[in-house]
Structure 1
Amino acid sequence: MAPYETDDRAKAADEADDRRAGRHRAARYVVPVAVVGVAAATIGLVPALASSGDPDLPKVTARELLEKIAASDVEQLSGTVKVSADLGLPDLGGLAGGFASGAVRGDGDSSADPQSKLMELVSGTHTLRVATDGPDRGKVSLLEDAAEYSVVHNGKDVWGYDSKSNEVYHATAPAGAGRKAPHDMPATPGDLADEALESVDDTTSVKVDGTAQVAGRDAYKLVVEPKQSGSTVGAISIAVDARTGLPLKFTLTPASGGAAVVDVGFTKVDFSRPAASTFDFTPPKGAKVTEGDDHADTGKGLPRGMGRAMPPGAGTAVPKGGEGLDGVKTIGKGWSTIAEFHTGGTGLPSGGKGSSGNSDVDGFLNSLGDHVTGSFGSGTVFSTRLVNALITDDGTVYAGAVTKDALVKAAEAAH
């Protein structure tokens, strides 16, 4: 598909800014209109046609579809979302999930803390029920076997409830937080689509690739692909509701091929206002209630309307807590961005100075990664289907949605 001419970029940005200034939009599901201008040189100009059997919708260019997403003013909805993730994490018999959850919430804290539940979404398939009514009211329920976990945001109150343990977590949302309220849980395709589209720049190709039906609604398919080599991201596909501009489905496929790494989509959606009682919550009798801290800036989370999601693009491998690590910096740009930081200690056992001295322990840890050497010394690369990390023997970490070779080259260039 033919790209826009470079001279059109400033004009596109100006036009987008004019539209933004005169339009009231919801705080949720917003993709900055500036994306239209920034990405103008890489967006496909030719409209895509519907494939056989797909909805026959009016022709639209990628630029027009981005504008439609940015202009979406959906503030009320309810529905069911299917979340599937296949990061290719090693099977440790549940040990990894339990350790990660414990590391996030800390021993002795409530199992109803939303942060602990985030770990359950990084693998397998899950069903969520979602509802939202403006930026200060929302609910996400994770349906489990004979149990349910819910996060509810209603005004200043944020509640988490685990029916299995009968535990309740309560925190107070900062005044006027809107979409930056605490305890951010990526629960809908819009949560992920926003972050992906905010990352669009001249390292990215954006095009329309036909139409589809999602949750019984006609949609356009927007495809975002890295132009750079070295990224583990193959493509991101976003199904955009033809009427409302709301992202209905988000799919990230790896450059290595195979099944999607992340696939999040509505199976049912209703744009009428949910009943006010949907967001009511009172701790059940006998439940253990844990009062959490107020987290105005932690980035933890609820569904969109209650916070932001973890970005799926490159350069996002370091969690929010990484800002407290020693000298976090980035190498490269766009989809090939690599985060570099120091753990503050030595690296993982690899037979060198980081060795534990216990051959069984060292062998187990090394079995989870690949031992590499270079001008930086030696280290271990831990890989998933999307994010990879190199930990050198001196405790330096290089991480990103990039290949193992890209991490080794970055480490060598830094020495």
Structure 2
Amino acid sequence: MTEDIKKVVLAYSGGLDTSIILKWLQDEYHCEVVTFTADIGQGEELEPARAKAKAFGIKEIYIEDLRDEFVNHYVFPMFRANTIYEGEYLLGTSIARPLIAKRLVEIAYQTNADAISHGATGKGNDQVRFELGAYALNPDIKVIAPWREWDLNSREKLLAYAAEHGIPIEMKRGQESPYSMDANLLHISYEGGSLEDPGVEPEENMWRWSVSPENAPDKPTMLVLRFYKGDIVAIDGEYKTAAEVLAYLNKVAGENGIGRLDLVENRYVGMKSRGCYETPGGTVILKAHRAIESITLDREVAHLKDELMPRYASLIYNGYWWSPERKLLQKMIDASQANVSGEVRLKLYKGNVIVTGRTSNESLFDTSIVTFEDDEGAYNQKDAEGFIKLNALRMRIATKLEQG
């Protein structure tokens, strides 16, 4: 072990992995551990994490409410780009990692710690996300990744280690390992257990935030979302903070069976992984944001955003939030949102998000031009003939050449 490590800041949830890591760091590195627990809306009581840390003699314990910062500065900027990875995944885990990495580095500086540590495995994406973020913010930071050092390479070995050292474990199902879960205000994810077989249907009782579409109410829920410069600021006329917006949408969308996803994705480290996700509020935001953009964005700006979005999504998924290219793309995306303001009406019904209307003072939709009725000269239909012939010219030339 590295002997010059005297103090480490650990990203600490109080769950199975990080509780074991806390004890392991003390025993293997003989160092002082500082714990950092971020409240980013995981919906769990965080004080038990404090109690656990104290039980292991931790003197410096950071528990911080970062919910509004998370939604304002990470989730909303991502949704301004209509971001999805591989056509489906709303990046709920990915987008939380840059904020946690930032605070790990800041707390390490504040406490004069020598290193940071995390509970991400050596097979997954999160190790990349945490560490790329940390190195981008502090090039000289030292990182301890226990999963790449120890031999506790299965959930069963972790449970045995916990039992040996008296570490309490919640949600233990007899001898069966619990799902590996990650939650924040944007989503909750499930991996491991029976989900490791992509052909096995998830158990209905696994889902926590949503009812099945079959069991959703027979009466739809109607919403009016107000956007300002690309972000939702009010729901049904009531102004809310960013965190309140997402929490409310999670509740009403989950009640209507919205937001479930069963996905096999391509991890950055090279393997395929099967995960299940619940993202009720995010599913609504994406649909509504595209609706308000449909009337407020210039055609070519909208198409350019759609072309760049997969690259932007990959940057977030792969851990490059703090990279210069992501920052550059964000400036362009944010500039595109200057006129993306107005209201979108939605109907939530049995797993579906249905747009029923959109209005904006910045609308580019001109009724006098698109009408099927008399447009009183607003559009000269004869102009279309030259437009069509000019655009057909290259194809006409090529066909004549082929015909000899």
**Is the TM-score greater than 0.5?**
no
Structure with more strand by fraction: 1
Rg (Cα) greater in structure: 2
Name the TM tier (shorter chain): under 0.3
**TM-score relative to the length of structure 1:** 0.22
